[in-house]
Chains A and B, each alone.
Chain A
Amino acid sequence: MADLSIDFCGVTSPNPFWLASAPPTNTGGQVMRAFDAGWGGAVWKTLGDPITNVSSRFGGIDYGSTRMMGLNNIELITDRPLDVNLREMYEVKKRYPKHTLVASLMVESRDNWRELIKKVQDVGSDLIELNFGCPHGMCERGMGSAVGSEPKVLEEITRWVVEEAKIPVIVKLTPNTGDINEPAEAAARGQAHAISLINTIKSLIGVDLERMVPNPRVGGQSTNGGYCGPAVKPIALFMLSQVAKNPTAKHLPISGIGGISNWRDAAEFIALGSTSVQVCTAVMHYGYRIVEDMIEGLSDFLDRKGMKSVNELRGRAVDSYVEWGELNLDYTIKAEINQKTCIGCNLCVTACMDGAHQCIHIPGRTHEESVKAGHYHIPEEIPALPVKIAGLPAGRFVPFVDEVECIGCNLCALVCPVPGTITMVERPGPIGHVETWNDRVAQGRDINPGALTSTLEARAKRNP
C-alpha cells in the first residue's frame, strides 16, 4: 500500500485530504466527526470579528438530473464568538494530535492580525491560512478578495503575518483576478510559506423567474456569491498549473482547491503540483463519508502506477502542460467508431454536422442527400455497416467517419453515450516531423494561405 502521508511546510498530515474552510468546518463537533471518517486535515471556518449571516445562503445549479453541479454561497466568515471557536480548536487538536489543523483568518488591522495569530497558535494550530479570497460580503469591507486581487496589499499583509507567526503561513488566492500569477508572485515576495487555490468565483447562480429575484433569495433580494463545486474544477486546474510553473512561486507547496469530489479529481490536482487538496462542496452534498473512497481510490491508483507514496505523484503532469505554440502541428488523430458497440443514436453525426467539420455520414444516403444534409466532401464509398446489436429496428447503420475531412477534434467521442465506442486513433501526420507554431514563427513561416493583406504588407516591410 502506497504511503498517503504528506509533509506540508514541515507539518505531517496522515493523508492529503483536507476539508476546506467552509460550513463543514464550522464547529469542533463537525471537525472531529470528519477526522473520525478519515480526513487528514481541516481548515477551520474563517475566524475574524464574528459576522451575522443571512437566510438563505446557498444556490445550486443542476445539469440534467445531476444535482448541484455548481454551488453558490453568500455565507460569510464564522458567526460564532472567537473564544468558542478557539476552545473547540484546542479540544480538536488535543484529541487528534496527528491530524492537521489549519486556522483560516480574515481581519482588518495589523493589530487584529497580531492578536488573532497569537490566539490560534496558542490553541495548537499547525498552519495559518490567510483568506484573501472570499469574493462576497467581506471584500466590500476591504478584506477577502479585495486583498487577493490587489497584489501590493496582499504582499504587505502576508509579510506582517509571516513576521508575526511562529507557524507556517498559507496564502489563499482568489480566482477573481485577471492573472493568477500576480497574486501568487506577491505571496512569494511576502515570504508566504505556501499557497492554496482557488477560492470561490464571483457569481450569480441564477434568477427566480417567478419572483424576478436572483438566487439565493433573501426576502425580495439577493446578492452575488462565491461559486464552487464540480463545475469550477477546470478553472482551478488551470490556475493551479499557472502557479506550479511560475518561476517566482513554484517552490511553494500548494494546497489545491476547486471542485474536488473524488480520488480521481484529487490525483489530477496532485499531478499538477498540489501537495494537499481541500474539499468542500462534495462534502456539503454527500457528507464526510466520501473520504473513504478518496483514500482507497488514491492508494490503489498509486499502487497500480507503482508509486510508493503520494509524493511521487506530485507534479507529474506539470511539464506536459505547455503553451499552445509548443504543440506539435504534425500530430494527427482520426475518429474510429466501433461497430460492435455502436447503438445507432447518431449523436456523433449531429455534433459533427453542426458543431464540428461535417465528416460523419449516415450511410445509405445518395450523393444529393449527403450534399443537402450539409456535407462538403462526399466519399466515393460509404460502407453501410448495420448496427450490430439485436433489438433495434432494421435500417440503422453505424455512422461513417470520412477521414479526409476528420480533423481529430474529439467532439464525437465526447458526445457518444457508450464509453469506448468512438476512439481517436493516431495516423501519420501531414508534415512528417515534429513542428510547432513557435518553430514557424522563429523561421518566419507563420503565414498561412489566405492571410490579411495588411499582415502580408507588414511582413514584407519587416523582411524586405
Chain B
Amino acid sequence: MRPLPVLAEGRLEQGFSETKPAYNQAEAITEANRCLYCEDAPCIKACPTGIDIPTFIRKIATENTTGAARTILRENLLGYSCARVCPVEVLCAGACVYNAWERPPIQIGRLQRFATETTLSQTPMSSLFARKPSTGKRVALIGSGPASIAAAGLLAMEGHKAVIFERKSVPGGLNTLGIAPYKLKGNDALQEIQWIMDLGDIELRCGVEITQDDNDHSATKVSAQSLLRDFDAVFLGLGLGADSRLGALDEDGPGVYGAVELIEKIKSDPAFSLTHVSHAIVVGGGNTAIDIAHELALLGVSDVSMVYRRGTQDMSAYEHELDYGRKHGVRVMANRVVTGFVRDADNKLIGAQIARAENGRAVEGTEETVAAQIAAIAIGQSRATELATRFEGVTLDSKGRVVVDPITHRTGNARVWAGGDCVNGGKEVVNAAQEAKLAVRDMLNALAAS
C-alpha cells in the first residue's frame, strides 16, 4: 500500500499543544475505574453511533485495551478522531449520570482516544476485524471526508473494493484540514485514514474531479456517468462548499478569509504566517467561528473579537467552546454587524466598520471603525451538492442538501447513497460516521442482491 501524503513541515498548526493530552495507561485505568458501568447507560444513547461506552471503559480497566478498541470501532470506525473532536460535553459525557450527582463526568473522549490510539499504533485494524474474501464488487466514493472514509472501511471489511475520489491533493476533508489543531492535527487525521485503509481493498485517488462531460478522459477527471457504469454502487460524501461571504463593503481583497479557508491555511500551508497581525475579527457565532477565533488567540494575536449580529444566547457555538476561547482571550461582541472593511492605499486590511445591531440588523449611524489586520468570515458554507445532481435521480432539498431516505441513506438513484455534511447540512464527524454506517448497511443488502 502506498503511504498517504503527509502535510509539510513548518505549518502554524504544529505549534499548538493539545487541550486534552493523551492518557498514559495508569491514568486511563484510574479514570476507567470511576465508571459506574450503568445498565441501559445514558452515554450510549447520547452517542450518535451508539458505542457501548461502559463496556469499552470496563475493558480499559481490565487492561483489555485491544478489546476496548474493538468495542469502539465496531460501532464507529472513526472512533479515534471522534475521541478527539467529538463535543463530548454535549453528547456522551454530557449524559453521564455523574453530572446528576454533581461529580465530574467520565472523560469518555480521552478514554476512547487511549483505547484506539494505543491499539491502532500497535495492531493493524485488519487484525481486529476478520476481513471477508473479495466479492469482486466495486463501490465509488466521492469525497474523502469522514463519511467516505468510514463507508470505505466498512465496505472493505465486507470484501468489496472501495475507490475514493478526492478533488484535493490531501485526503480526509475537514478531518484533515478543518479541525481545531488543539483537538486534532492534520497528520493524525491522515494516520487514521492509513489505519482504516488496512481493512481491505481501498484505493484513494486524490486530485480527481467529477465532471459532467463523459468524453473527458484526462487522468484528473472522471464523469458521473462513468462511475455509475463502472461501479456497482456510489457513495456521495461531498461535504460542504466554500465559505459564504458577507457581502460587506471592501470584503474582497487580501486579509479577509473564509473561516474554513483560514483554518486550512493554519493547518496545511507552510507559507502562511500571522506576523504583523495584532488584531483579528471573526464574524459569526457558531462553532467554526469560535474555533478560528480561539486558534488566532492561541497563535498570539493579541486582540481577537467575535462579532455576532444577535445576542450571546442566540449563538450556536457550544458553551464549553466559548468558555475555552474566552479563557484564551477571545472577546465576544454581540449585537454587532460588520458593514464594511477598511483598507489602506496598498489595499491592505487595517480595520472593519462595525455597527450596533437590533434584531440582527445594523442600526444606521452607529458604525465605528475597529482595527483588524485579518478577518475571518464564519457565517456558514455554501453547498457543494450541485455535483450530486450529475447522478441521475439524485435530488436536493430547498437548502441544497442531498435528499436521502433517513433509514437507508439511499438517494433518488437506487445505486447512489449519501452521507455526512452534504446530507445533514454540516454536523459533527460522529454524525458522518453514523450516516456512513446506515448507508453501508443498506448498500451491503443491495450489493448482495445484485
Contact = CB atoms under 8 A, between A and B. Distances in A.
Contact of B40 (A64, A346, A387, A392): A346
B46 A346 contact: no
Contacts of B37: 347
Contacts of B36: 345, 347, 417
A350 B61 CA distance: 20
B42 A393 contact: yes
B39 A343 contact: no
Interface string A385-417: 001011111001000000000000000000001
B204 interface: no
A350 B39 contact: yes
Please report whether the interface of chain B is mostly helix, strand, loop or mixed according to DSSP.
helix
Interface string B33-44: 110111111100
B40 A349 contact: yes
B30 interface: yes
Contacts of B98: 343
Contact of A65 (B33, B41, B99): B33
B52 to A, nearest CB: 14
Interface string B70-112: 0000000000000000000000000101111100000000000
A343 B97 contact: yes
Interface residues of A, number: 19
B97 A344 contact: yes
A153 interface: no
A418 interface: yes
B45 interface: yes
B150 interface: no
A356 interface: no
A63 B304 CA distance: 49
Contacts of B41: 345-346
Interface residues of B, number: 20
A362 B41 CA distance: 12
Which of A65, A343, A350, A393 has most chain B Cβ within 10 Å?
A343
B156 to A, nearest CB: 34
Nearest to A393: B95
Which of A65, A350, A390 has most chain B Cβ within 10 Å?
A65
Contacts of A346: 38-41
A79 to B, nearest CB: 34
Contacts of A347: 36-39
Contacts of B61: 64
A345 B29 contact: no
A349 B39 contact: yes
B100 A391 contact: yes
B99 A391 contact: yes
Contacts of A362: 40
Contact of B100 (A64, A343, A350): A343
Nearest to A345: B38
Contacts of A396: 42
A389 B98 CA distance: 11
Contacts of B29: 65
Nearest to B42: A393
Contacts of A391: 99-100
Contacts of A393: 42, 45-46, 95
A343 B33 contact: no
A418 B29 CA distance: 22
A344 B34 CA distance: 16
Contacts of B101: 343, 389, 417-418
Nearest to B43: A393
Contacts of B95: 392-393
Nearest to B101: A343
B104 to A, nearest CB: 12
Interface in A108-141: none
B38 A392 contact: no
Contacts of A65: 29-30, 33-34
Contacts of B45: 393
Interface string A370-397: 0000000000000000010111110010
Contacts of B33: 64-65
A389 B39 contact: no
A349 B40 CA distance: 10
B80 to A, nearest CB: 25
A392 B100 contact: yes
A315 to B, nearest CB: 39
Contacts of A418: 101
A344 B39 CA distance: 9
A387 B39 contact: no
A391 B100 CA distance: 6
Nearest to A389: B100
Nearest to A341: B101
A349 to B, nearest CB: 5
Nearest to B38: A345
A30 to B, nearest CB: 30
Which of B40, B45, B97 has most chain A Cβ within 10 Å?
B97
Given A389-B101, A390-B100, A392-B97, 5 more contacts: A344-B97, A346-B41, A349-B40, A350-B39, A396-B42
18 contacts: A64-B33, A64-B61, A343-B97, A344-B100, A346-B39, A347-B36, A347-B37, A347-B38, A349-B39, A387-B100, A390-B100, A391-B99, A393-B42, A393-B46, A393-B95, A396-B42, A417-B36, A417-B101
Interface of B: 29-30, 33-34, 36-42, 45-46, 61, 95, 97-101
